[in-house]
Amino acid sequence: MRALQSAIRLAPLEDGVRTHAPITTTFRLGKRSLVIIVLKPGCTEEQLQHICEKVEEMGFRHEVSRGARRTLIGVIGEEDQLRNAPLRAIPGVEEVMSVLKPFKLASREFHEEDSVFDLGHGVKVGGGNLIMIAGPCAIEGEDILREIATDVKAAGANVLRGGAFKPRTSPYSFQGMGKEGLQILRKVGDELQMPVVTEVMDPRQVELVNEYTDMFQIGARNMQNFNLLSEVGQTRRPVLLKRGMSASIQDLLMSAEYILASGNMQVILCERGIRSFDNSTRNLLDLAAVPNVKGLSHLPIIVDPSHATGRPDLIPSMSLASIAAGADGVHIEVHNCPEKAFSDGQQALLPAQYAELCVQMKALATLLGKTIPQAGQA
pTM of the model: 0.79
Q: What's the CATH number of domain 4-98, 3.30.465.10, 3.40.50.150, 3.30.930.10, 3.30.70.1140?
A: 3.30.70.1140
* Predicted pLDDT at 98: 76
* CA-based end-to-end distance of the chain: 51
What confidence tens digit (pLDDT) does each residue in 65-97 have? 887 778 888 888 887 788 788 999 999 999 888
Is the model's pLDDT at 176 over the cut of 80?
no
* Predicted pLDDT at 173: 65
Name which of 11-15, 158-162, 349-353 the model is least confident about.
11-15
Counted residue by residue, the chain has a size of 378
% pLDDT > 70, the chain: 88
- Domain 117-367 class in CATH: alpha beta
Instruction: Give yes or no for a contact between 137 and 335, defined as CB atoms under 8 angstroms apart.
Output: yes
Strand-pairing partners, residue 239, are 216, 267
Instruction: Give yes or no for a contact between 273 and 307, defined as CB atoms under 8 angstroms apart.
Output: yes
Closest of 129, 130, 152 to residue 356, by C-alpha: 152
Closest of 312, 302, 303, 257 to residue 282, by C-alpha: 312
Pairwise CA distance, residues 306 & 161, whole Å: 13
Mean pLDDT of the chain: 88
Give the list of residues 6+ apart from residue 332 with CB closer than 8 angstroms, or none: 132, 133, 134, 304, 305, 306, 315, 319, 349, 354, 357
* Predicted pLDDT at 346: 87
Q: How many helices (H) and strands (E) does the chain have?
A: 11, 14
Closest of 200, 158, 195, 146 to residue 178, by C-alpha: 200
User: Could you state, in order of their start, the residue ranges of all structural domains in the chain?
Assistant: 4-98, 117-367
Residue 94, sorted as left (phi over 0), alpha (psi -120 to 50) or beta, turns out to be alpha
The residue among 126 and 28 whose pLDDT is bigger is 126
